[in-house]
């Protein structure tokens, strides 16, 4: 069984640009979660998508947005990038009735 | 919103000793508390979880305890081994998300000295 896959692995952007990160959940998982892990810090909840809809979002500005496609894959978009957006962005997926996440390997976003 | 505090930030033990990591949460409506282990350069992996209707859960050398009244929960690792060295994150479910979305603690870096 393929795990949660994220792309790209690394992404370097200039301040003010937009970044798009992608996530493919485990087959059969309908929920996708996005977390930000800044260097040396814990995981901060960004967004939760289920069945194509945004179910909940964390305490992040509106320039962090995303969507979930009919095949349950998801995109995270970060507009007007700031230096402090540099972090590891982790995607996770879960089954509807299973509360344990399976995380992807992450996308390391560097804003210069 | 939910806030999770985790202590200590670093923990060094000798192989064979026990390790305890403690977390407190702020929202009494949280009802699901998982623990994740993240080895260097790898993704976090779920190692054990507990729901609010249970006070303790064990899985081999790992146990988690929950005190709902005090709003704290702990991870206990017995007979530690070098491969237990990693960063451990506690988490609490965000209310009104059906235990789905989580707030994580800041992590504990456990180092097991051989």
In sequence order, what are the residues at sequence separation of 6 or more whose Cβ sits closer than 8 angstroms to the Cβ of residue B98?
none
Q: What is the pLDDT of residue A85?
A: 97
Token code pair at residue A86: 């540099």
The residue ranges of chain A whose pLDDT is under 70 are 1, 96-99
In sequence order, what are the residues at sequence separation of 6 or more whose Cβ sits closer than 8 angstroms to the Cβ of residue B102?
A33, A43, A45, A101, B32, B34, B91, B92, B93, B94
**From CA A49, how far away is CA B89, in angstroms rounded?**
22
Say yes or no for a CB contact (<8 Å) between A50 and B105: no
Query: Among residues of chain B, what percentage have pLDDT more than 70?
Result: 96
**From CA A76, how far away is CA A58, in angstroms rounded?**
13
What's the mean pLDDT in B35-63?
92
Q: What is the pLDDT of residue A96?
A: 64
Q: What is the pLDDT of residue A111?
A: 97
What's the mean pLDDT in B1-30?
93
A29-68: b (≥16 Cβ within 10 Å) or e? bebbbbbbbeeeebbbbbbbbbeeeebbbbebeeebbbeb
Residue A71 DSSP symbol? T
**From CA B68, how far away is CA B29, in angstroms rounded?**
10
Nearest by CB to B43, which of A50, A59, A105? A105
Nearest by CB to A59, which of B1, B43, B107? B1
How does pLDDT run across B56-108, given as a tens digit for each residue? 999 999 999 999 999 999 999 999 999 999 999 999 988 777 667 888 999 99
Name residues 40-59 of chain A within 8 A of B (Cβ): 41-45, 48, 50, 55-56, 58-59
How does pLDDT run across A67-93, given as a tens digit for each residue? 999 999 999 999 999 999 999 999 999
Q: What is the pLDDT of residue A1?
A: 56
Nearest by CB to A90, which of B1, B43, B46? B43
Q: What is the pLDDT of residue B2?
A: 76
- Cα→Cα distances A7→A82, A108, B60, B104, Å: 20, 10, 36, 23
Q: What is the pLDDT of residue B67?
A: 95
Candidates A9, A55, A99: best to mutate against B (most CBs of B within 10 A) is A99
Query: Among residues of chain B, what percentage have pLDDT more than 90?
Result: 73
**From CA A101, how far away is CA B101, in angstroms rounded?**
10
Q: What is the pLDDT of residue B95?
A: 76
């Amino acid at each position: 069984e393929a795990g949660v896959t994220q792309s790209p692995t690394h992404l370097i952007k200039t301040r003010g640009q937009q970044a798009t990160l992608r996530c493919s959940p485990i087959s059969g998982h309908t929920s996708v979660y996005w977390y930000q892990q800044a260097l040396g810090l814990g995981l901060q909840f960004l967004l939760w998508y289920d069945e194509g809809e945004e179910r909940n979002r964390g305490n992040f500005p509106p320039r962090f947005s995303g969507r979930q496609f009919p095949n349950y894959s998801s995109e995270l978009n970060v507009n007007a990038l700031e230096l402090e957006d540099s972090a590891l962005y982790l995607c996770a997926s879960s089954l509807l009735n299973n509360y344990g996440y399976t995380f992807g390997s992450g996308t390391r976003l560097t804003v210069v | 919103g939910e806030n999770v505090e985790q202590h200590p930030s670093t923990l060094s033990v000798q192989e064979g000793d026990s390790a305890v990591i403690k977390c407190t949460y702020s929202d009494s409506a949280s009802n699901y508390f998982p623990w994740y282990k993240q080895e260097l350069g790898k993704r976090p992996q779920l190692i054990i979880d507990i729901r609010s209707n249970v006070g303790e859960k064990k899985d081999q050398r790992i146990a988690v305890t929950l005190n709902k009244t005090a709003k704290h929960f702990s991870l206990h690792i017995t007979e530690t081994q070098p491969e237990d060295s990693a960063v451990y994150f506690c988490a609490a479910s965000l209310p009104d998300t059906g235990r789905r979305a989580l707030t994580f603690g800041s992590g504990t870096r456990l180092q097991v000295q051989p």
